[in-house]
């Protein structure tokens, strides 16, 4: 059925950015002139999408970007607040005044009975900088709670901690993505960019053509297909592989001794660990041939311009910080970081994954990437907020620990969720759903009735990407202005409106929580001034004028900092730090009962928990259901034919998925995408074991077994995915 939304009268294209990953591809949206009827699922008749010649995508878009207009009119779009009078009752439409009044009343009741920290807030890495900033401020000022974290803890926290440890500063790519165009060699560790951010691959073309692309991944992914060398370590052994390659760098004479002496510290301690990891020993642990380890190091060392890039495959482990540090060690040993034409970087996943962790929605941070336990930082931010620094709470629980504590003795009794779907995205998802059900109050602000929103007591309908203005910070630290192209549907409010309405009802001055995004950004500028992520010189006026500003931008006339670390690193002595890290292996290795490694990841057509993309007809047609990639011999041992439904079982639960015989996957490994809901949730089986530093859960490896789904008839998987139904 055609759906109606108001379109702006003007039909001039609006230059903006894609609503999905951290590449933040440039696109132009053109609203139809004189019509507000959607004539097809691509959004024709309401808005059309065209790529822009922006540095990150250069006129390219992936399938999700091309169909992004469909999300604006997705089936089930929320346009009225919903309230559940009691747990047994269904959600029913109510007015905004009733919904916000009810939430504020219950929040006051719960805090009066159980204390300030009885209320928790859970944000998202897709929120704009303004919303992330306002959410952290709302939690600490309007609620006075320390219990605030966000789903970016599940994405970049290990890479961020490793970057701070090594360089003194976390910015995913400390150089523009276009610098990769000149790379002769690139090692991608745990990154399948051909599916997760396809326009990125054009920046690897020189490395591919020169035979210099090395991919580290247990799967033969679309990215690995383009590589000159594919290293397939067993899941959970990336750190051992990095140690073996560092050993090879030393033994084969590839160290950059001058760089190590002049620009780093700590090499000797790191080498004492790596000295025990000769490549043949690493081969026994990882399964990667010693000759291939040496070849990969040789490709890096002999290239004029070389990069090492890590992503979630290396970082979503209980030893994720140390694993990322091990790959940084290799890059430092070869003299790559902080040089023009070479470097080390981490590929941020979520659309505002970088900005989302900089401005205060993380449990241990204040705006500007300041630490919340730093007295000077507290005093600075409190002065901007007009509050006493003594009244600001301290650090709270990390994301999974927060979710795990809900409804327990001493844990939060109420949770407010903005921009996240933890029922699908959190590890041990069945347990998380149980904890949400134990709350006295669950409030979700969302665009559609996600799996988490379905469980809520109150659902608040909010605007989405093309219906609001705001800034985001992409994977290279570039601050971008996402512009509004359409009016939102009647009855829908921005997240800033929601936070303002709640704050006022909780007794805050109305001007403390502005609803205009540019006004919020002006305050963010002051709050970030002098911090590691200094946005004080960024203005919307400069962004509207087309300036390309990479933080830090510490003054109004500053041109920004596209390349960090060229002269010195961010530690007081200006040197990068090697880390003495050793391999520990996965928290849950396979055994007789659960003999296989399970690893998770993304597919081309879907994004994150799938709450958006599973409502786009073209994307659902191409990828309608969950699947499990299994080597044919492994599947045969489990009695599973290609195309049959299987149950993937771990100690925490089981997920249903369609079997795909995949001869290129390791026989000890199965792969599940994590975008699907209900009994297809991959995170029903994943392990919440946490990294001791970043508190990142171990999404990328757990022990499982495969079982045929009882009563399911044998069925061959069709060669055309469109033949399948969701």
Q: Which has more confidence, 718 or 460?
A: 460
Please count the other Cβ atoms lying within 10 Å of the Cβ belonging to residue 388.
11
pLDDT tens digits, one per residue of 576-602: 999 999 999 999 999 999 999 999 999
Q: Kindly state the helix (H) or strand (E) to which residue 461 belongs, with its residue range.
A: strand 458-461
Tell me the CATH architecture of domain 175-346: 3-Layer(aba) Sandwich (3.40)
Q: What is the mean pLDDT of residues 554-563?
A: 96
Say what the pLDDT of residue 120 is.
Answer: 98
* CATH code of domain 596-723: 2.40.40.20
Q: What does the mean pLDDT of the chain come to?
A: 93
pLDDT of residue 537: 98
The Cα–Cα gap between 661 and 655 comes to 18
pLDDT for 355-369, tens place per residue?
999 999 999 999 999
pLDDT above 70: residue 661: yes
Predicted pLDDT of residue 712: 58
Handedness of CA 435, 438, 439, 444 (dihedral sign): positive
Does 717 have pLDDT greater than 80?
A: no
pLDDT tens per residue across span 295-304: 999 999 999 9
Higher pLDDT pick, 34 / 261: 261
- Of 543, 518, 540, 482, nearest to 16 by C-alpha is 482
pLDDT at 711: 62
Whole-number pLDDT of residue 11: 64
pLDDT at 241: 98
Cα atoms in the Cβ-side hemisphere of radius 13 Å centred on 404: 13
Question: Over 467-514, what HEC string results?
Answer: HCCEEEECCCCEEEEECCCECCCCCCECHHHHHHHHHHHCCCCHHHCC
Lowest mean pLDDT among 155-159, 323-327, 385-389: 155-159
**Dihedral, CA atoms, 287, 289, 290, 296, nearest 10 degrees?**
-110
Return the sign of the alpha-carbon dihedral for residues 544, 549, 552, 553. Answer: negative
Check: CB of residue 269 under 8 Å from CB of residue 275.
Answer: no
Q: 1-75+463-493 has which fold?
A: Phosphorylase Kinase; domain 1 (3.30.200)
The enclosing H or E element of 519 equals helix 517-528
* pLDDT above 50 (res 272): yes
**Per-residue model confidence (pLDDT) at position 298:** 98
Residue 713 has pLDDT above 70, yes or no: no
Determine contact, residues 551/565, Cβ cutoff 8 Å.
no
Binning pLDDT at 50, 70 and 90, where does residue 722 land? very low
Query: Which of 73 and 563 is assigned the larger pLDDT?
Result: 563
What is the CATH number assigned to the segment(s) 82-154+352-460+494-528?
Answer: 3.40.50.740
Q: How far is CA 175 from each of CA 196, 251, 306, 338, rounded to the nearest angstrom?
A: 20, 30, 13, 9
For the chain, domain boundaries: 1-75+463-493, 82-154+352-460+494-528, 175-346, 533-561, 596-723
The DSSP 8-state label assigned to residue 74 in this structure reads -
Give yes or no for residue 720 having a pLDDT over 90: no
Identify the CA nearest to 325 among candidates 258, 266, 282: 266
For residues 274 and 13, give the distance between their C-alpha atoms in angstroms, rounded to a whole number.
Answer: 55
| pLDDT of 528 over the 50 cut | yes
Question: What's residue 551's pLDDT?
Answer: 98
Q: Would you state the pLDDT for residue 708? A: 96
Confidence of residue 726 (pLDDT cuts 50, 70, 90): very low
Higher confidence at residue 155 or residue 446?
Answer: 446
Res. 208: pLDDT tops 80: yes
Whole-Å CA distances, 242 to 264, 295, 583: 18, 13, 9
Compute the average pLDDT of residues 186-192: 97
CA distance 714 to 642: 9
* 7-58 pLDDT, tens digit each: 444 468 999 999 999 999 999 999 875 433 333 333 334 789 999 999 999 9
Q: What is the pTM of this model?
A: 0.93
Same fold, 82-154+352-460+494-528 and 596-723: no
Reported as a single tens digit per residue, the pLDDT across 492-519 is: 999 999 999 999 999 999 999 999 999 9
């Amino acid at each position: 059925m055609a759906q109606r939304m108001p379109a702006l009268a003007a039909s001039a294209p609006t230059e903006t950015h894609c609503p999905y990953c951290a590449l933040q591809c440039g696109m132009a949206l053109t609203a139809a002139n004189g019509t507000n009827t959607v004539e097809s699922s691509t959004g024709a008749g309401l808005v059309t999408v065209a790529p822009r010649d922006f540095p990150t995508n250069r006129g390219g878009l992936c399938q999700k970007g091309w169909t992004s207009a469909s999300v604006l009119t997705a089936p089930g779009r929320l346009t009225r607040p919903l309230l559940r009078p009691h747990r047994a009752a269904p959600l029913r439409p109510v007015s905004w005044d009733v919904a916000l009044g009810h939430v504020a009343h219950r929040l006051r009741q719960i805090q009066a009975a159980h204390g300030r920290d009885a209320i928790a807030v859970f944000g998202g890495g897709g929120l704009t900088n303004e919303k992330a900033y306002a959410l952290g401020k709302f939690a600490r000022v309007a609620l006075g709670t320390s219990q605030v974290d966000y789903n970016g803890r599940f994405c970049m926290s290990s890479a961020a901690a490793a970057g701070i440890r090594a360089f003194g500063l976390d910015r995913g790519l400390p150089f523009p993505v276009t610098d990769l165009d000149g790379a002769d060699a690139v090692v991608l560790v745990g990154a399948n960019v051909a599916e997760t951010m396809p326009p990125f691959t054009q920046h690897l073309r020189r490395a591919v053509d020169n035979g210099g692309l090395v991919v580290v991944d247990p799967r033969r992914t679309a990215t690995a297909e383009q590589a000159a060398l594919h290293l397939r370590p067993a899941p959970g052994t990336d750190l051992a592989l990095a140690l073996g390659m560092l050993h090879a760098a030393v033994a084969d004479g590839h160290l950059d001794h001058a760089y190590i002496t002049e620009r780093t510290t700590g090499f000797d301690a790191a080498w004492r660990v790596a000295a025990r990891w000769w490549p043949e020993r690493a081969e026994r642990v990882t399964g990667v041939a010693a000759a291939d380890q040496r070849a990969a190091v040789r490709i890096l060392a002999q290239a004029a311009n070389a990069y090492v890039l890590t992503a979630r495959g290396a970082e979503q482990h209980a030893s994720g910080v140390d694993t990322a540090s091990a790959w940084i060690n290799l890059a430092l040993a070869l003299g790559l970081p902080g040089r023009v034409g070479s470097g080390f970087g981490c590929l941020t996943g979520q659309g505002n994954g970088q900005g989302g962790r900089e401005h205060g929605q993380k449990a241990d941070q204040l705006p500007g990437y300041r630490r919340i336990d730093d007295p000077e930082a507290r005093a600075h931010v409190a002065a901007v907020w007009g509050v006493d620094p003594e009244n600001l709470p301290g650090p709270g629980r990390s994301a999974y620990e927060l979710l795990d504590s809900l409804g327990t003795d001493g844990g939060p009794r109420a949770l407010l969720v903005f921009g996240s779907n933890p029922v699908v995205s959190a590890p041990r998802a069945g347990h998380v759903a149980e904890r949400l059900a134990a709350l006295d109050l669950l409030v979700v602000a969302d665009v559609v009735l996600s799996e988490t929103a379905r469980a809520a007591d109150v659902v608040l309908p909010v605007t989405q990407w093309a219906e609001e203005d705001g800034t985001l910070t992409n994977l290279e630290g570039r601050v971008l202005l996402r512009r509004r192209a359409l009016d939102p549907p009647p009855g829908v409010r921005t997240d800033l409106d929601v936070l303002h309405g709640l704050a006022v009802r909780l007794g805050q001055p109305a001007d403390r929580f502005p609803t205009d995004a540019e006004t919020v950004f002006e305050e963010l500028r002051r709050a970030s001034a002098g911090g590691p992520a200094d946005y004080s010189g960024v203005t919307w006026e400069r962004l509207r004028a087309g300036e390309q500003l990479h933080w830090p931008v510490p003054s109004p006339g500053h041109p920004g900092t596209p390349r960090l670390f060229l002269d010195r690193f961010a530690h007081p002595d200006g040197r990068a730090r090697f880390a003495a890290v050793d391999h520990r292996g996965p928290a849950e290795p396979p055994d007789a009962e659960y003999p296989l490694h399970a690893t998770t990841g993304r597919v081309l057509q879907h994004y994150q928990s799938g709450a958006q993309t599973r409502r786009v007809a073209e994307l659902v047609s191409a990828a309608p259901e969950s699947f499990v990639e299994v080597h044919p011999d492994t599947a045969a041992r489990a009695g599973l034919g290609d195309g049959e439904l299987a149950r993937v079982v771990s100690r925490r639960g089981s997920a249903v998925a369609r079997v795909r015989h995949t001869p290129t996957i390791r026989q000890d490994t199965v792969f599940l995408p994590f975008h699907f809901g209900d009994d297809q949730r991959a995170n029903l089986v994943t392990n919440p074991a946490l990294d001791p530093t970043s508190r990142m859960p171990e999404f990328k490896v757990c022990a499982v077994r495969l079982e045929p789904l009882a009563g399911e008839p044998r069925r061959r998987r069709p060669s055309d995915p469109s033949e399948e139904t969701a």
